[in-house]
Structure 1
Amino acid sequence: MNIKPEKLQEGDMVGIIAPASPPVSKKLEIGVKYLKELGLHIKMGRAIWKKHGYLAGSDEERLRDLHDMFQDPSVKAVICACGGYGTARIAQQIDYCLIKDNPKIFWGYSDITFLHTAIQQNTGLITFHGPMLSSDIGSEDVHPRTKHSFQQLFQKMNLHYTEEISPLEIVVPGNAKGRLIGGNLALLVTTLGTQFEIDTKGKLFFIEDIDEEPYRIDRMLNQLKLAGKFADAAGILLCDFHNCLPKKREESLSLKEIIHDHITPFEKPTLSGFKIGHCSPNIAIPIGAEGVLNTEKKQLTITPGVS
């Protein structure tokens, strides 16, 4: 059974960590300022400004920040500053009992996908695939809908994704329901064959990515197909694939052709065009929450991710 974290209230403390790569300091400052404008108090992780190559401090330091924030009763949410690379390096050392015993909001995306999958499947805690402080809120042209996504943390609201947000295309018609699971395609593929392998059985499976050439998308979708992840899913959400264009090879299959080859044959209800991931706007969704996909109405409805 899934666990819903408690919603935030004005005056609550939120912890900011960088479990992967270090954030851009000026952009993070803008993101932190936005959280303060929402009436929240801030606790910064001890390792957030550290650098260890492409990592925000050593594995031990980043792991300690994650544990500290979940263990601290004054912290009501744990928000990731940015992605990059590195969360899979600490996944095996995480104390999942600590997280399960201290359920609270956990928020981020991109490389954070590995942690979403690990936490959801080891604790049942609903987490949020949502825009991050440095890479999204800290941008000069941040979309109002991106900022509005944070309102999901303050109120028990059903999320209705329709074409009012972005054009949606029917890939495979039909209706499906189930808990949401997924995230960044490249990260999801790295879970295969590990103790954190993504479980899509009976779930609404969503994927997104950025800067991957079509042949790489082809390879990763094929691997998920061979692992049975599309066959197991109740429905599929194709989200934003930002700048996933051919670069090395002039001759290329299109993303539509690749999707037709690897996903369409399973005849799972599928919609494409969701602005979820490395895009603007970047709409947050609660991983583990119940969702209903209706391709005829071109609509995704998700139950509240907080209690």
Structure 2
Amino acid sequence: MTPSTEPPRYPPKPVPGDRVAVVSPSAGLPELFPLPYDLGLARLRQRYHLEPVEYPTTRKMGASPQERADDLHAAFADPTVKAVIATIGGDDQITVLPHLDRELIRAHPKPFFGFSDNTVLHAFLWQTGIVSFHGASVMCELGRPGAMARQTADSLRAALFVPGPYAVVPADRFRVVDVPWDDPASFTGEPETEPGHGWTWHLPDGAQQVVEGRSWGGSLEVLSCLLMADREIARDPAVYDGHVLFLETCEELPSATEVFRVLRNMGERGLLARFGALLMGRPKTWSFDRPNTPQQRDRYALEQREAVLRALAAYAPRTLAVFDVDLGHTDPQYVIPYGGVIRVDGQERRVTVTY
């Protein structure tokens, strides 16, 4: 068997009091925005009782791919470090891949947390045979203004410390509008949220009503880059048979046409129909560059859902799908085990992940 077809290999979990690596495999944005970063570090210490360990590029913008890979190697190889957490994402982590020592990391498996551009490292670890954890970066989730969202905080605690099943449920309230990180006033109160309206289930005729399998996916935009470069994608699409695909889109707000084209290309490659179920993250519908009105946000989300359904109808007509799951760039955010087991129960309308 290849690592991607072996049973999930969950790395040992840290315990309170342990040291955890804080790294910037994509962008060293803590250098530019220390307020959410320092708040995230404080919460690691005070709420989770973990001791963050920084590296030469953690707070350094413009670090080379080799420098960032060196920090990852140091973090995974250090026996006193029990987990690795990304500060934030970025857009060029794919350039770090050629510098990574797969055997070094395989020999020192540790839980890795991050999302967005960190999809690159998640896909690398999946191919290496190690389960990682999509979500909970230091600046975004741990550094959230006000208090951490309850669902995020509880999910992260379970993913960090508690092995076993964990129920993912629709958020009562959510947030898509960000606040400026360079303004201290942003951190003096709770950000505005809006009511949640549950998930939308797509149960096509002939679909398997209950799907349980390993997860694969992440940021749709980053997966598109990996597919284009043919990096960390299994050569044989059959290795994804029966797995659970999860996808989410970022603050760049890709158009419905772009989303459809990525999924269409996955379909043409023979990937899309391999998955028994799809969890589609609640779309990010607002950004500083595109401060959409509530009506524009609703229309954007609807058009994205229709694009996904169109791709499924063409390439994966028997795939069970759930929309608006809180697993991506919106708030709150559930941690999703990457390569771990997810159960999607269309009969009971339940989603359970295994940490």
Using structure 2 for the length normalisation, give the TM-score.
0.78
Deviates more, 1:149-158 or 1:109-118: 149-158
1:260, distance to aligned residue in structure 2 (A) = 2.2
Letter in 1 for 2:44: L
- Aligned CA distance change for structure 1 residues 221 and 29 (closer, same or farther; 3 Å): same
Report the equivalent of 1:50.
60
Shift of 1:243: 1.0
Out of 308, 314, 320, the position equivalent to 1:269 is 320
Assess if the C-alpha contact under 8 Å between 1:19 and 1:63 holds in 2: yes
**Deviation for aligned residue 1:201:** 3.0
1:135 to 132, 135, 140: 140
Report the CA distance between 1:100 and its aligned residue: 1.0
The percentage of aligned residue pairs carrying the same residue is 25
Task: Work out whether 1:288 is the aligned partner of 2:339.
Answer: yes
1:32 aligns with 2:67: no
Give, in angstroms, the shift of residue 27 of structure 1: 1.0
| Correspondence 1:83-232 to 2 at 5 A | 83-121=89-127, 123-141=128-146, 142-151=148-157, 152-163=159-170, 167-173=198-204, 174-193=209-228, 194-197=230-233, 200-210=240-250, 211-232=253-274
Which range is displaced more, 256-265 or 12-21? 256-265
> Are the equivalent residues in 1 in contact too, given 2:263–2:272 (CA < 8 A)?
no
* Partner of residue 181, structure 2: none
Give the gaps of 5 or more residues in structure 2. 1-5, 173-195, 291-295
**Quick check: 2:170–2:325 contact (8 Å CA) kept in 1?**
no
TM-superposed CA distance for 1:51, in Å, is: 1.7
Q: How far 1:80 moved relative to its partner?
A: 0.2
Note the C-alpha offset of 1:244.
Answer: 7.3
The CA deviation at 1:149 is 2.1
- After superposition, the C-alpha distances for 1:64-115 in whole angstroms (9 at most, x for unaligned) are 1000000100000000000012211011221111111101111100000011
- What is the CA–CA distance in structure 1 between the aligned matches of 2:36 and 2:286, rounded to whole Å? 25
> How far apart, in 2, do the equivalents of 1:239 and 1:273 lie?
5
Say whether 1:17 aligns with 2:23: yes
The one-letter code of the counterpart of 1:155 is V
Deviation of the 1:172 alpha carbon: 2.5
User: In structure 2, the residue corresponding to 1:27 is in which secondary structure?
Assistant: helix
Cα displacement string for residues 214-243 of structure 1 (whole angstroms, at most 9, x for unaligned residues): 222122222222222211112111112111
Match of 2:84 among 78, 92, 95: 78
Structure 1 residue aligned with 2:3: none
2: distance between equivalents of 1:158 and 1:89? 35
SS of aligned partner of 2:249: strand
Distance in 1 (CA, whole Å) between partners of 2:109 and 2:155 is 21
Between 169-178 and 80-89, report the one with greater CA deviation. Answer: 169-178
Question: Unpaired runs of 5+ in structure 1?
Answer: none
The question of whether the paired residues in 1 share the 8 Å contact of 2:45 and 2:52 is answered with yes
Describe the shift of the 1:264–1:171 C-alpha distance in structure 2 as closer, same or farther (beyond 3 A). Answer: farther
**How far, CA to CA, are the matches of 1:175 and 1:244 in structure 2?**
33
Say if 2:309 is the partner of 1:260. yes
Q: Can you list the C-alpha shifts for 1:238-287, whole angstroms capped at 9, x where unaligned?
A: 11211179x7xx99982232122101342111111210000110110111
Q: Which amino acid aligns with 1:220?
A: V
TM-score (norm 1): 0.90
Between the aligned partners of 1:5 and 1:115, the Cα distance in structure 2 is 15
Per the TM alignment, residue 160 of structure 1 is displaced from its structure 2 partner at its CA by 1.1
Where does structure 1 differ by over 6 angstroms across 4 or more consecutive aligned residues? 250-253
**Structure 1 residue 164: Cα displacement:** 6.2
Q: CA deviation at 1:195?
A: 3.5
Is this contact kept in 2: 1:85–1:111, CA < 8 A?
Answer: yes
Please give the alpha-carbon distance, in whole angstroms, between the structure 2 residues aligned to 1:120 and 1:243. Answer: 29
